[in-house]
Copies of this chain bind each other. A is one copy, B any other.
């Protein structure tokens, strides 16, 4: 009934925000309860009072990290006028995963979660899979809208294009992070730009 959050709600949010970057850097297995208590300054009692277990913290942390990206992308897309520009937002946002800006510590949480959890943690894997699915659909819808508006061709292989853009971006993030060479992502994003430009009618 209140607009103000309860103490517990605020603590829960504080735990999520504090641990989200830790999970994204160290992974689910690599992050321990003591990492969580140390980073938050809270005790186990406090953590387990707000979360069922470590996994629930990790799931909430993923949602938080994913939410940050989703929000940034949605806002940026809204600012673009052409569909070509809207599509390029994905490349530009993921561009900022590297180098100075680094607006999410540890890189893309979808990639990190997908690769760690695919064979080991069904709930986390499910969240990453949903994020991918929603991203795929968003790209396909943008291309469809662009085609309907006349900006894009009408015979585009929607799914292949969407999945290829995602694969390029995530693969590029992986490449640049593992080689510590930001230019590797730049190169791959050039290909993304070319693919998007080729959609034009």
Contact = CB atoms under 8 A, between A and B. Distances in A.
Contacts of A129: 178-180
A188 interface: yes
B179 A174 contact: no
Interface residues of A, number: 45
Contacts of A118: 107, 174, 177-178
A163 B167 CA distance: 12
A48 B163 CA distance: 45
B116 A116 contact: yes
Contact of A111 (B115, B164, B168, B179): B115
Given A164-B191, A180-B129, A187-B159, A114 B29 contact: no
A132 interface: yes
Nearest to A31: B29
A188 B170 contact: no
Contact of A188 (B120, B167, B180): B167
Given A133-B179, A169-B171, A26 B120 contact: yes
Interface string A139-171: 000000000000000000101100110111111
Interface string A104-148: 001100011011111110000100110011000000000000000
9 contacts: A128-B178, A132-B178, A164-B168, A164-B187, A167-B191, A168-B168, A171-B172, A171-B174, A191-B195
